[in-house]
């Protein structure tokens, strides 16, 4: 996801980040990761198909169970006060419907975060010791409201689901298209293959 980074040293990092983003073209998407301003690259078509599939599956489940939540693509999640210097933009997230207001593009909580992995997610941001996705996973897991994190590979049927269980996190990897992907708190119950429907990977199996 990361295409470039800008280094700033503001007194209020988060406000400077928001001011910076507001001055950028609308088509650019930026994240604040470990105090670094990182621009997300334009996702490829398979990436967008997977995001659309998950958004639809989540929306169907949420509406069926009337959870009072909403699935959104590319929302900005501000991790304060849990973590300073972190504002993430997951590919898909389930958020509180009450936080959706006209003109708002940053929320303070998410229940589920989905990251569709690109090669750039495994790179280490400048000045850090961990890959970007590892930093973000730790951030999501530190967020009190976050109940689950789903990491989805693009080039293989491969997803890792992390779910909160009391004070710990349980991690489960799915690699068979017929594996069941169940996230009860988000109303999701589908085959792993459904996540990849209509992608080049899925069409190659026909």
Residue 11, pLDDT score: 46
> How many residues are recorded in the chain?
206
Residue with tokens 């069926």: 64
Residue with tokens 């730790």: 138
Domain boundaries, the chain: 44-204
Averages of pLDDT over each 10 residues, the chain, 206 residues: 43 80 82 88 94 98 94 95 93 94 88 96 92 97 97 98 96 98 96 98 90
Nearest C-alpha neighbor of 113 from the set 132, 131, 140 = 140
Rounded-to-integer distance, Cα 168 and Cα 183, Å = 16
Query: 46-58: buried (b, 16+ CB within 10 Å) or exposed (e) per residue?
Result: bbebbbebbbebb
Residue with tokens 């941001």: 125
Rounded-to-integer distance, Cα 42 and Cα 62, Å = 28
Residue 135, pLDDT score: 96
* CATH 3.30.70.980 is the classification of domain 44-204: no
pTM of the model: 0.89
């Amino acid at each position: 996801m990361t295409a470039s980074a800008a280094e700033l040293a503001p007194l209020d990092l988060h406000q400077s980040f928001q001011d910076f983003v507001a001055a950028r073209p609308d088509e650019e998407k930026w994240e604040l990761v470990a105090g670094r301003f990182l621009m997300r690259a334009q996702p490829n078509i398979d990436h967008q198909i997977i995001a659309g599939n998950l958004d639809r599956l989540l929306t169907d489940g949420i509406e069926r169970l009337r959870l009072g939540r909403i699935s959104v693509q590319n929302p900005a999640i501000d991790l304060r006060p849990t973590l300073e210097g972190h504002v993430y933009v997951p590919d898909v997230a389930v958020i509180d419907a009450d936080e959706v207001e006209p003109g708002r593009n940053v929320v303070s909580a998410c229940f589920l975060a989905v990251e569709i992995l690109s090669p750039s997610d495994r790179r280490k941001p400048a000045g850090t010791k961990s890959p970007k996705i590892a930093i973000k996973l730790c951030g999501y897991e530190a967020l009190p409201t976050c109940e689950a994190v789903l990491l989805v590979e693009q080039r293989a049927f491969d997803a890792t689901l992390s779910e909160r269980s009391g004070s710990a996190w349980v991690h489960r990897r799915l690699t068979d298209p017929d594996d069941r992907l169940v996230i009860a708190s988000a109303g999701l119950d589908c085959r792993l293959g459904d996540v990849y429907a209509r992608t080049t990977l899925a069409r190659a199996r026909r």
